[in-house]
Chain A
């Protein structure tokens, strides 16, 4: 029910490289999982409000008081590649 093409499409959306073997295997595994998930397609859910969050919290605001943020050197300390003052990424055109 989910074929190689769909797996590749979704993997592209998720920015995930897959080998040919993985595409094959995932197609089978995802089909079996989605087959189980399909059991909710038969339920009568007309008019039922969706629950995105169980806690009733809205507009949880903090006082608008400036406070120190992470130091730049600390924020950059775990970067795989960096410049003097920023994260270094490969060119999108490469």
Chain B
């Protein structure tokens, strides 16, 4: 059973070859035995999934859920000490929706604290390890979800992506990760990091599974006023060719410092395959992409500094210094509850929004955001999709970048532009560099998920990437 993709498992359940209860218990036991620290909570033995209708499209294939999503009565700690033991009174809309569609909650997955990080080393519950090499990071911030799916202890998982947090760990663990169009998936019940950027999405073994799961995640939600109805039904991808598809390649951005030669080699080989499948490659320019990182590291911390003000030791979570008056209670609770990276971002965000600096930082960053969106609009007038590597490097060693936050941030240079523009992008595994997986990122215009998934499917078939052997 464990070698089946989620779609194949759903089909096997539908045929009656295996029961949903057997599938749940098999994966529950695997998740409970996980050695990668991929989980912060696993359904206890004897858990029976909530009843679902006989024609529930996902058939009972269990789901790993990033700990950033609130789940009623189940610890939801967002990788933070400040939420240790927190039991939400409600479940995130998308988790509820997927449970009703037949994907019951299997486990909560480890993550960087409040989704701030690219390595899972910022989790208060210890780092997750990469199943390809346990001395290495699985990427982040949805690193627990990525490691779990790659190691086969979950059939599929939910992640969230603010600046690359689905795509980058998917790349580092050799699986598929889709960051959807902003607004297509409800954010209700997702513990907020940067509200104008955060978006939930699937991490899966293959492109078909990503389409199957995403298709059940979308929909306008009365509880999230920024959510939108997707104009298309998400189809399972069937394309095997790319005839007539124009793929833009921003050559200038690929010449940036710090991109591993092995990553470029795997990327170029994949472009070659795309051409063989009939795609036309077009050189494009995204003139403001080089400024995306700077704009992002103003906008995301600014929004975070506001969102994280709710952690004040009053309504939930940790409280320290309660005997020394209200102000001391706030400041001590937040000092002891937040980790270093969260503190850094709160400080940057507060600084950027503070009197006298707002226009120079936040105002300008929002203008850069407009230019980045304009660049994409112009590019998508000429091409159907844009290709880049997902990340400039493969998975690095634990501890390698923790002393230099800026070098960690630079790893997001290919993923952040799509986040700022609210556009969808997928990462699929396209090869190995020194034995470690390399991600290939394909992005498109808003609501072009069907186009992206179809092209990714055609490439996936042609690449024939050998996933990690599941044992």
Contact of B409 among A13, A33, A74, A92 (CB under 8 A): A33
Verify B364–A41 contact, CB threshold 8 A: yes
Contact of A55 among B183, B305, B312, B405 (CB under 8 A): B183
Q: Does B382 contact A (CB under 8 A)?
A: no
Verify B343–A22 contact, CB threshold 8 A: yes
Verify A45–B354 contact, CB threshold 8 A: no
Q: What is the distance, in angstroms, from B222's C-beta to the closest C-beta of chain A?
A: 5
Verify A48–B228 contact, CB threshold 8 A: no
B197 nearest in chain A by CB position:
A54
Q: Does B350 contact A (CB under 8 A)?
A: yes
Contact flags B318-352 to A (C-beta < 8 A → 1, else 0): 11001111111111101100100001101110111
Contact of B294 among A10, A15, A37, A93 (CB under 8 A): A37
Within 8 A of B (CB), among A49-94: 49-55, 57, 60, 62, 70, 74-75, 77-81, 87, 89-94
A40–B351 CA distance with the chains assembled, in angstroms: 16
Within 8 A of A (CB), among B121-180: none
A55–B196 CA distance with the chains assembled, in angstroms: 9
Verify B327–A92 contact, CB threshold 8 A: yes
Contacts of A7 in B (CB 8 A): 347
Q: How many of chain B's residues touch chain A, expressed as a range?
A: 35 or more
Contacts of A45 in B (CB 8 A): 364, 367-368, 371
Contact of A92 among B322, B326, B346 (CB under 8 A): B326
Q: How many of chain A's residues touch chain B, expressed as a range?
A: 35 or more
Contact of A10 among B182, B298, B354 (CB under 8 A): B354
Within 8 A of A (CB), among B361-388: 361, 363-371, 373
- A49-B364 contact given A16-B343, A17-B331, A80-B318, CB 8 Å threshold: no
- A33-B370 contact given A40-B295, A54-B182, CB 8 Å threshold: no
B298 nearest in chain A by CB position:
A37
Verify B294–A79 contact, CB threshold 8 A: no
Q: What is the distance, in angstroms, from B338's C-beta to the closest C-beta of chain A?
A: 7
Verify A90–B89 contact, CB threshold 8 A: no
Verify B347–A30 contact, CB threshold 8 A: yes
Verify B313–A80 contact, CB threshold 8 A: yes
Verify A79–B182 contact, CB threshold 8 A: no
- Pick the most buried of B312, B324, B343, B344: most chain A CB atoms within 10 A of its CB: B343
Q: What is the distance, in angstroms, from B327's C-beta to the closest C-beta of chain A?
A: 7
Contact flags A23-52 to B (C-beta < 8 A → 1, else 0): 000100110111011111101010011111
Verify A51–B405 contact, CB threshold 8 A: no
A51–B323 CA distance with the chains assembled, in angstroms: 44
Q: What is the distance, in angstroms, from B294's C-beta to the closest C-beta of chain A?
A: 5
A51–B196 CA distance with the chains assembled, in angstroms: 10
Contacts of B396 in A (CB 8 A): none
Verify B318–A2 contact, CB threshold 8 A: no
Q: Does B465 contact A (CB under 8 A)?
A: no
A7–B404 CA distance with the chains assembled, in angstroms: 18
Known: A51-B366, A90-B328. 10 other contacts (CB 8 A): A13-B354, A14-B334, A14-B346, A16-B334, A17-B335, A36-B293, A48-B370, A55-B226, A62-B222, A80-B322
B interface, CB within 8 angstroms of A: 86-87, 89-90, 182-183, 196, 222, 225-226, 228, 288, 291, 293-295, 297-298, 305, 309, 312-319, 322-332, 334-335, 338, 343-344, 346-348, 350-352, 354, 360-361, 363-371, 373, 405-406, 409, 420-422
List the 7 shortest-distance A-B pairs measured between CB atoms, nearest first. Answer: A54-B422, A94-B325, A50-B366, A80-B319, A60-B225, A17-B335, A17-B331
